[in-house]
Amino acid sequence: MVNYLLVNQETERLRFRKFTPKDFGLWLPFYDNSLSTKYWEGLPNDPKTACQEQFDRIFERYRKNLGGMNALIHKETKDLVGMCGLLVQTVDGTEELEIGYSILPKYWRNGYAFEAARKCKEHAFSNNLADSLISIIHIDNLPSQKVALKNGMKLSKTTFYKNNPVHIFRVFQKEG
């Protein structure tokens, strides 16, 4: 069985681990900030409901081995700063491996998303999990697009994903 999770792996500032139900309250501030979700249509308006739906998807991915988000723990403070992981996704009928990332608002603009996304890319390619990786990013989400570009990805195409207009950024193993 392919292991897409980066449990117990580290970067300079972050340690990766699985999410647990106890992390719910720590992640809820993501949904309390309207800027966190302003680019994505179709999310519940209630922060607790939106957070619960995301946690349900995280644990379902773990059960079905479809990759998943890792909790990003700051090595010094032990605080949850965000999530990042390798996710098996279907885009336009094709199965892809995505690097997904979200950072809690109070930790934005500190380079955590790039640091974690780069680690996911290195893990995927060093373990030959895919020939290429994508990031699915709303066409208006410039901060996430900058992370993808910094991670060596290039705009591959524009399409719709879960009723949202998105750019698909891609990096190939031979390039990455």
Task: Give per-residue pLDDT as tens, 15-36.
Answer: 999 999 999 999 999 999 888 8
Q: How many domains does the chain have?
A: 1
**Rounded to whole angstroms, how far apart are CA atoms 24 and 11?**
24
Residues 6+ away with beta carbon under 8 Å from 26: 80
Task: Give the CA count within 13 Å in the CB-facing half-sphere of 109.
Answer: 2
Q: What is the mean pLDDT of residues 115-139?
A: 97
Let me know if residue 4 belongs to a domain.
no
pTM of the model: 0.94
Taking the C-alpha atoms of residue 94 and residue 142, their distance in angstroms, rounded to an integer, is 25
Task: Provide the CATH number for the domain around residue 117.
Answer: 3.40.630.30
* Domain around 135: 14-172
Task: Confirm whether 8 is domain-assigned.
Answer: no
Q: How far is CA 44 from the centre of its chain?
A: 19
Residue 108 lies in a domain: yes
Give the burial string for 123-144 (b: 16+ CB within 10 Å, else e): bbbeeebbebbbbbbbeebeeb
pLDDT digits (tens, 9 = 90+) for 86-125: 999 999 999 999 999 999 999 999 999 999 999 999 999 9
User: Residue type at 10?
Assistant: E
Average pLDDT, the chain: 94
- What's the half-sphere exposure (Cβ side, CA atoms, 13 Å) at 144? 24
- For 23-129, list the strands marked E by DSSP: 67-74, 80-91, 94-103
Domain contains 98: yes
Q: Is residue 3 part of a domain?
A: no
Asked if residue 7 is part of any domain, the answer here is: no
Does 2 map to a domain? no
- Examine residue 63 and state whether it is found in any structural domain, yes or no: yes
